[in-house]
Amino acid sequence: MNGLHQRFCFLFFILPVLMLAQSRLRDHGVEVGVLRPGTLNAITDVPGVKVGQFTLNQGDDIRTGVTAILPHSGNIFQEKVPAAIYVGNGFGKLAGYTQVKELGNLETPIILTNTLSVPTAVNAVIGYTLNQPENQNVRSVNAVVGETNDGYLNDIRGRHITEEHVLKAIENASTGPVAEGSVGAGTGTICFGFKGGIGTSSRVLPKESGGYTVGVLVQTNFGGVLQVAGVEVGKKLGHYSDSFKYSPDGSCMMVVLTDAPLDSRNLERLAKRAMLGLSRTGGIASNGSGDYVIAVSTAEACRIPYESENPIQNVPTLRNEAMTPLFLATIEATEEAILNSLFAGETMIGRDGHKIEALPKEKVLAMLKDAGKLDR
């Protein structure tokens, strides 16, 4: 065998391996939508936003964790941020909803974990808030904690998440790249019958539309009929809920952050569009699914002081007519974040020997190539 032939054979075998080692959708030349992502293509492209995670993957049956999202690095209780929560399907245990609905603001980090660890996370966030130096006189805290049920792979009844794990996720929070797949609150989750997890993406609006950034982070644990960039992957694989190969029930937590100056009313409108992003991946918001969207404006000019001598608060707010580009950005970023969670997922064995396979990327990429969806 001559040298040229040897090099060709090496490339023939190594290129597919390298291709599959790439863990994000865009790594494979697949672009979702028309708007461009931010530098990191992550929720942390929104200035000042931090994400921290704690992964608990121990023994044969503990597959869970915590993900924390901080809208800014200051004292969030003292400098609250405009917020809204939209309920796509309410079979879930999200904590903190009613006060956000009533007052239109968020006063703690957003925590994601498993269903039975919500009370533990709430207690940890309350302690975290009370222990901050400026909060000595605080006697009420609205902790916002979302969840999905990872009980197929994880010994959820063991309630292995502790307050220290939640605090560690908050302490670990940083700007920069966000780990995806089987990490943090996505450690034991399942999406479309494949290994799901944490996913994230972002979009930056053109300057003429305000130049704002929208970032999305998801915890995927739901079902339906998977579509990737419009290709009916689940149908082609024969792997979808109606085939009874897996239950469509589950949940998806979606966190949408933007630096656009929005009030809670328009943030709720923005949150609704995340459900359109979920539907573009084939999600169906089944009866047993807890699909919640938490939307927050991080614009510094919109922050709400805990105490003020002025009874009137004047804050800039985008007009309704300026919302449409943000709607599109949210839809695109949510769709890509969900797909990123799948592309980053790895085959996992958990509780009672239960095994969930990773998305068969090689087959999926072949389908996308046949459909003309690969840019290279």
Active-site positions? 251, 289, 291
Q: What is the CA radius of gyration of the chain?
A: 21
Structure tokens at 201: 């993406």
Q: Strand runs (DSSP E) across the chain, as ranges?
A: 50-58, 62-70, 79-90, 105-106, 110-114, 144-148, 190-191, 194-195, 198-204, 213-221, 250-258, 289-297, 304-305, 348-349, 355-356
CA distance 127 to 133: 12
CA distance 266 to 134: 30
Q: Residues 195, 347: contact at Cβ < 8 Å?
A: yes
Q: Strand runs (DSSP E) across 244-337, as ranges?
A: 250-258, 289-297, 304-305
In what helix (H) or strand (E) does residue 167 lie, and over which residues does it extend?
Answer: helix 163-171
Spell out the long-range contacts of 35-39 with Cβ–Cβ below 8 A and sequence spacing 24 or more.
35/203, 35/204, 35/205, 35/206, 35/325, 35/328, 35/329, 35/332, 36/203, 36/204, 37/201, 37/202, 37/203, 37/204, 37/333, 37/336, 38/202, 38/203, 38/204, 38/213, 38/215
The answer for 352, left when phi > 0, alpha when psi is -120 to 50, beta otherwise, is left
Q: Residues 63, 118: contact at Cβ < 8 Å?
A: no
Q: Residues 107, 141: contact at Cβ < 8 Å?
A: yes
